[in-house]
Chains A and B, each alone.
Chain A
Amino acid sequence: MPDTGEFHCTSNTGLGWAFGTSRTGSSHRSSNRPCEDAFALWSGSAGAAPCIAIAVADGHGDPRHDRSRTGSALAVQAAIEELVMFHRMHLHEVPQYIIRSEFRADFPRRICRRWREAVSEDAHRCDGGISRDTEPDNSVFSRYGSTLIAAAVMQETILTGQIGDGDLVLVRPDGSVQFPIPADTELLGSETRSLSSRDAHLLWRTATLDRGEGGVLIAATDGISDSFDGSEGPEFVKFIKSLVGRIGQYGVENVAAAMSGWLDHYSALASGDDMTLVFVLVSPAGIINGSGESFGDRIEESSGEF
Chain B
Amino acid sequence: MPLMLGQRVRAEISGMELEVIKKLGEGTQGEVYLVEGPDGYQAVKWYKPEQATTEQRSAILYLVRTGPPFGAAGKRFIWPRDLVTRTGSPQFGYLMNRIDTRQFAELGECWAHLKAVPNFSALCEISYQLANSYRALHLSGHCYRDISAGNLMFDPATGDVLICDNDNVGVNRQSRSQVWGTMEYMAPEIIRGEKDPSTQTDLHSLAVLLFYLWIWHHPFHGAREYRFHCWDIPAKKSVYGESPVFIFDPDDTSNALPRDPDYETANERWEYCPQALKEMFIRAFSDGVRDPDRRVTEGEWQTLFSSLKDSIVACPKCRAENFLNGNGKNGKCWHCQERLVSPPVILIRRPGTETRLALSLGTTIRRRHIASSSPQDDGSEIIGTVVAHPTIAGAAGIRNNSGMVWQCTFPDNSIAIVPPGRAVPLNPGTEIRIEGATLTITAPQD
Interface residue ranges, A against B (CB under 8 Å): 85, 89, 95-98, 100-102, 104-106, 109-110, 112-113, 116, 135, 138, 141, 182, 184-186, 193, 198-199, 201-206, 208-210, 212
Q: A106-B231, A199-B265, A210-B2 are in contact. Are A135 and B28 (CB under 8 A)?
A: no
> Is there an interface contact between A203 and B179, defined as CB atoms closer than 8 Å?
no
Give the CA-CA distance A182 to B262 in the complex, in Å: 23
Task: Give 6 closest A-B pairs by Cβ, nearest first.
Answer: A97-B28, A202-B111, A89-B232, A101-B182, A100-B28, A203-B112
> Is there an interface contact between B114 and A186, defined as CB atoms closer than 8 Å?
yes
Give the CA-CA distance A199 to B217 in the complex, in Å: 11
* Residue B392, interface by CB 8 Å: no
Q: Which residues of B contact A95 (CB under 8 A)?
A: 50
* Residue B233, interface by CB 8 Å: yes
Q: A186-B114, A202-B216 are in contact. Are A135 and B48 (CB under 8 A)?
A: no
Contact residue among A105, A112, A182 (Cβ-Cβ distance under 8 Å from B182):
A105
> Is there an interface contact between B114 and A182, defined as CB atoms closer than 8 Å?
yes
> Is there an interface contact between B111 and A203, defined as CB atoms closer than 8 Å?
yes
18 residue pairs of the A-B complex, CB under 8 angstroms, read: A89-B230, A89-B231, A89-B233, A97-B29, A104-B150, A109-B221, A113-B226, A113-B260, A186-B114, A198-B261, A199-B111, A199-B216, A199-B265, A201-B262, A202-B111, A202-B216, A208-B28, A209-B26
Give the CA-CA distance A113 to B226 in the complex, in Å: 9
Interface of A is mostly: helix
* Residue B102, interface by CB 8 Å: no
In the complex, per-residue mask of B198-235: 1 if CB is within 8 Å of any chain A CB, else 0 = 00000000000000000010000100001000111100
Q: Which residues of B contact A205 (CB under 8 A)?
A: 108, 112, 114
* Residue B354, interface by CB 8 Å: no
Interface of B is mostly: loop
Residue total for B at the interface (Cβ-Cβ under 8 A): 34
> Is there an interface contact between B114 and A85, defined as CB atoms closer than 8 Å?
no
19-36 of chain B: CB within 8 A of chain A:
26-29, 31
Q: Which residues of B contact A113 (CB under 8 A)?
A: 226, 260, 262
Would you give the shortest CB distance from B56 to chain A, in whole angstroms?
12
> Is there an interface contact between A135 and B114, defined as CB atoms closer than 8 Å?
no
* Residue B298, interface by CB 8 Å: no
Give the CA-CA distance A135 to B138 in the complex, in Å: 46
Q: Which residues of A contact B112 (CB under 8 A)?
A: 184, 193, 202-205
168-202 of chain B: CB within 8 A of chain A:
179, 182-184
Give the CA-CA distance A219 to B230 in the complex, in Å: 27
Which residue on chain B has the smallest CB distance to residue A201? B262
Give the CA-CA distance A109 to B225 in the complex, in Å: 11
Chain B CB within 10 A, most for which of A97, A186, A206: A97
